[in-house]
A and B are shown apart, each in its own frame.
Chain A
């Protein structure tokens, strides 16, 4: 187990270097520079433009800029936003809880619905139930997030007026963030109706973000379950006179979960990518929206630092998944 973990940690170093290089060069490939975009419509003289670029260190050769950046990062400094002049890490940390809350809700929705749906589809394979679940999953899997989000907004917010459209909570409520999770903070604030409001703001983004992982998890659970149900040890479990619920829910599911956990881990990347779109649609103040804004403003420091931090989060989650995997699969543990 320890060797397994060390092996995983060793892979992090080249991954980290790769991500930093991609983040660094990607944003510089876009036309325009931050100074030009900051000046906007106002006309700026050549000299002034060059002077600001020099102040920001953006006039030096690319390799030098990259090496400077790398040394800063390694000493723990992710730089400051060119636009807001605040540290990138600080901005990230203040916005990340919003994204985390949304992503957690989405993955919980996906697991809570996807695993049972996949199990039932496998147990009832070939029936109309199985076929309809898998049909819905296929549609969900190929749903374009932007379009799906707009569709839900038009129907539930526009037509039915059930849910709000943008933000995390009604402007009526204000309380200082404690955990950064609006659901928890609204409860802690003790303000009547605050939790309800936070919850209603969360519903649509959660559904939009959770749809693809839900479809993927349902399909993966079904196929893992189908394979496991044909195994000898499932027959042994039935030969002991156990109830079908126990045979499927304990003996088969425990084995089927091993590949499903891996799938759930892989969804984290999908989830963060989806969060960027979802947050933009719902004006959700998280790191997805933050990154999109930074790209439009050519805020090099934010884009570089943000991508690096997001990559770090994904790698951490994958590590956590690997550890869980080791716990759930005794053949790896020993």
Chain B
């Protein structure tokens, strides 16, 4: 049984102009020891779906799911207290903005020790020892001195390392990393990714890595879930996804990778933006930006089977060619 199993998660926000569906029937699984990457442009509901799992959304969010199971327990039936015993301990999360994610009024030692005290009941000496061990683990030099530092005395990369140390404090079974490198300098980005992958391997924990960067996916993930405008549009193991993307959105994301650009040509980017609350199209949400759009796409998009990456598309690509597409059928026939 998978460590994490989400079935048909939907998140709707109450806004001034009515309900807004940020996550739309998303299903997702992650096995023990696996790195699952959730990828999609900004606004695809990646963060919101994982925040819903952690129970960190504001009260304006209405969350429904058929199943929200972690480590054999269904989280939906749990009381808030039972849920708090799991998050921060067995399931931990780090965020996009490391600098603002640490409390400016407390030292690193305080913020690390707090988790250890609440979940592990450690005394002061044990907490100090474990904190130093954790800071060493995430590659922070002179950990004893860091303990008395305040967040404003640290760089972004250092803060993210502290966030990782905090998340790992209780040896979680699952770590959710929400764009952990997006806010960092390019040189630091690679270091933090390497660190996450190394820790994941050493601890045998599952890692859900949220990113909008296909390059990051290629370097780290085992399996990839592509999300668009709150919907899951494709899911494949990483090798197959890069070799044969089935959803036109996935294909477009891959085509935008610098490594794939033909020398001398301008890098292709996907025209348009992810639809938000007010410009949500009917039918296939990707239709306004899709190169293969057909009239029936405005009625809706069909979910394909496993063999086609569960692509949410009426004309899934196979080796770059849309299946049963009228335009291409004619060409083949001729």
Who on chain B is nearest to A229 by CB? B58
Q: Which residues of A contact B87 (CB under 8 A)?
A: 239-241
Instruction: Verify if A255 is at the interface (C-beta below 8 Å from B).
Output: yes
Chain B 67-108: CB-based contact to A (< 8 A → 1; otherwise 0): 000000000000000001111110011010100111111100
Among A196-237, those with CB < 8 Å from B are 231-233, 235-237
- Which among B86, B103, B105, B150 is the interface contact of A241 at CB below 8 angstroms? B86
Of the candidates A231, A242, A330, which one forms a contact with B118 in the assembled complex, judged by CB atoms under 8 Å apart? A242
CB-based contact A232/B92 at 8 Å: no
User: Is B56 at the interface (CB under 8 A from chain A)?
Assistant: yes
B114 touches A239 (CB 8 A): no
Q: Is B218 an interface residue (CB 8 A)?
A: no
- How distant is the Cα of A21 from the Cα of B85 in the complex, in angstroms? 65
A239 touching B56 by the CB < 8 A rule?
Answer: yes
Residues of B within 8 A of A (CB): 54-56, 84-89, 92-93, 95, 97, 100-106, 114-115, 118-119, 150, 152-153, 163, 166
Q: Which residue of B lies closest to A329 (CB)?
A: B105
Pick from A233, A330, A331 the residue with the most CB of B within 10 Å: A233
Q: Which of the four size classes fits the interface of chain A? A: 20 to 34
Q: Which residue of A lies closest to B51 (CB)?
A: A235
B163's partner among A236, A241, A329 (CB-CB below 8 A) is: A236
Q: Does A42 count as interface, using CB distance less than 8 angstroms?
A: no
**Pairs A-B, 3 closest by C-beta atoms:** A241-B88, A240-B88, A232-B100
CB-based contact A330/B56 at 8 Å: no
Contact partner of A334 among B101, B103, B150, CB < 8 A?
Answer: B150
CA distance A237 to B118 in the complex (A): 12
Which B residues are CB-close (under 8 A) to A251? 103, 106
Question: What residues of A have a CB within 8 angstroms of the CB of B163 in the complex?
Answer: 236
| Contact status of A254 and B106, CB under 8 A, knowing A233-B101, A239-B54 | yes
Q: When the two chains form their complex, are residues B150 and A242 in contact, meaning their CB atoms are under 8 A apart?
A: no
Measured CA separation A233–B89 after assembly (Å): 18
Kindly identify which residue among A231, A240, A243, A330 contacts B166, using a CB–CB cutoff of 8 Å.
A240
In the complex, what's the smallest C-beta–C-beta distance from A250 to chain B, in angstroms? Answer: 8
Give the distance in Å from the alpha carbon of A243 to the alpha carbon of B88 in the complex: 12
**Which of A233, A239, A254, A329 meets B88, CB within 8 Å?**
A239
